[in-house]
Amino acid sequence: MTYHPDAFPTHWDLNPYRGCSIGCKYCFAQYSHKYLGLDDFFKDILIKTNVSESLGKKLGKKNWNNEQIKIGGITDLYQHLEKRYKLMPKVYEIIKKHKTPVFIQTKSTLILRDFEIIQELSKITSVDIATSITTFDESIRKVIEPGASTTLERIEMLAKFKGISRSTTLGFMPIIPLLSDTDENLETTFSLAKEYGIDNVVTSFLFLRGDVKSKFMALIEQHFPEIYTGFSKLYATSTVDPNYKQNINLKIKKLRDKYQLFSVYKAVETIAHSDQLSLF
Ligand code: SF4
C-alpha cells in the first residue's frame, strides 16, 4: 500500500496489480513501469499474490488510524487477471476484519462477481464505488479502452451499487478533445447519470504526460486522421489549450445545472481503532 500526501479523497492507495490489461491508450500510469524496468504497461503485469497478507499486517498495526483506502487508483483491480487470481475477495475479508473504509474504482463489470461480499462489507464500514467513462461511441471506445467493459455496462454496474454503497461516482474522464467532447456525448453522460441515480459526476481533461503524448498522437494519426491537425494544435503542451477547456467547462456547467448533478463527494472521517473500540 502506498501513501500519497496530496491525494483526494484518500491518501492510501492499494493496487493488487502493477500494469493494467484494460489498456486505455491515454493511461498516465504507464510511466510507472519504467521504474520497474518493464516496457509494456498493458502486457507485463506484476501480480501481488501476497496483497491480502501484507494488507493484514499493515491494518493490524497499532498505529494504523483506519483511514479510507482507495483500491484501484493506479491500476484496475478488476483487470482480466483478477478472474483467475481472485485476489479481491481475500482483500475484502481483511478490510472487513478491520472495518476499514474503502473507495473502489474500476472500469470492469467483473466487480459484480464480488457484489455480495461488497454488500456485506458496506454493512460494517463505508464503501464508495466509482467508475469512469469517455464515450458512448463503441467504435471509438474499442480503440481507446480496448479491455474495458462497454460504457453503458459500466454505468449500469455503478447503478447496482446505489443503495448499498455510501456513494456512487461517475467520472467523465478524460475528456478527449474532438473525440469524446461532442454535445451528444456530454448530454448522454449527464442524462444517464441522472436516470440511474448516480450521486456524483466528476470531469477532467486528457493529460498527455511524458511519452504517453507521442504514443497517443500516433494513435490519433492512425485511427482518427481527420482530427489529427486540430488535436495537435490543442495539445501544444501536455495539457489542453485553456480557451478550449473554458468552452467545454461552460457546457458542463450548463449540464450540471440542468440535471442538478454535481461533485458532492465528502471525504470519509477517520475513526481510529482506539475510538471504535471505546464504543463497545
Ligand atoms: S483502467 Fe486505469 S490503470 Fe488500467 S489502463 Fe485504464 S486508465 Fe490505466
pLDDT of residue 152: 98
Place of cell 475479508: 93
Is 129 near ligand 1, meaning CB less than 6 Å away?
A: no
CA of 179 to the centre of ligand 1 (A): 18
Is 69 near ligand 1, meaning CB less than 6 Å away?
A: no
- Tell me the residue range of the domain where 11 lies: 2-278
Q: Centre a 10 Å sphere on the Cβ of residue 50 and count the other Cβ atoms it contains.
A: 12
CA of 145 to the centre of ligand 1 (A): 8
Is 22 near ligand 1, meaning CB less than 6 Å away?
A: yes
CA of 68 to the centre of ligand 1 (A): 21
240 in Cβ contact with 177 (< 8 Å): yes
pLDDT of residue 212: 95
**What domain count does the chain have?**
1
Q: Give the closest residue to 94 by CA, choosing from 46, 126, 57.
A: 57
Buried b (16+ CB within 10 A) or exposed e, 196-211: eebbbbebebbebeee
pLDDT of residue 274: 45
Tens of each residue's pLDDT in the chain, 280 residues: 888 887 777 889 999 999 999 999 999 999 888 778 888 999 999 999 999 999 999 999 999 989 999 999 899 999 999 999 999 999 999 999 999 999 999 999 999 999 999 999 999 999 999 999 999 999 999 999 999 999 999 999 999 999 999 999 999 999 999 999 999 999 999 999 999 999 999 999 999 988 999 999 999 999 999 999 999 999 999 999 999 999 999 999 999 999 999 987 788 877 654 444 433 2
Residue type, 268: V
The pTM (predicted TM-score) of the whole model is 0.93
Instruction: Decide the pairing of beta strands 17-18 and 167-175.
Output: unpaired
pLDDT of residue 271: 60
Angle between helices 151-160 and 183-195 (to 10 degrees): 20
- Ligand 1: atom nearest CA of 26 is 7
Is 130 near ligand 1, meaning CB less than 6 Å away?
A: no
CA of 71 to the centre of ligand 1 (A): 13
pLDDT of residue 272: 54
CA of 225 to the centre of ligand 1 (A): 24
CATH number of the domain residue 206 falls in: 3.20.20.70
**Cell for 68?**
479510507
pLDDT of residue 19: 96
List the residue whose alpha carbon is closest to atom 3 of ligand 1: 75
Q: Centre a 10 Å sphere on the Cβ of residue 96 and count the other Cβ atoms it contains.
A: 16
Q: How far is CA 134 from CA 100, 126, 278, in A?
A: 31, 27, 45
35 in Cβ contact with 94 (< 8 Å): no
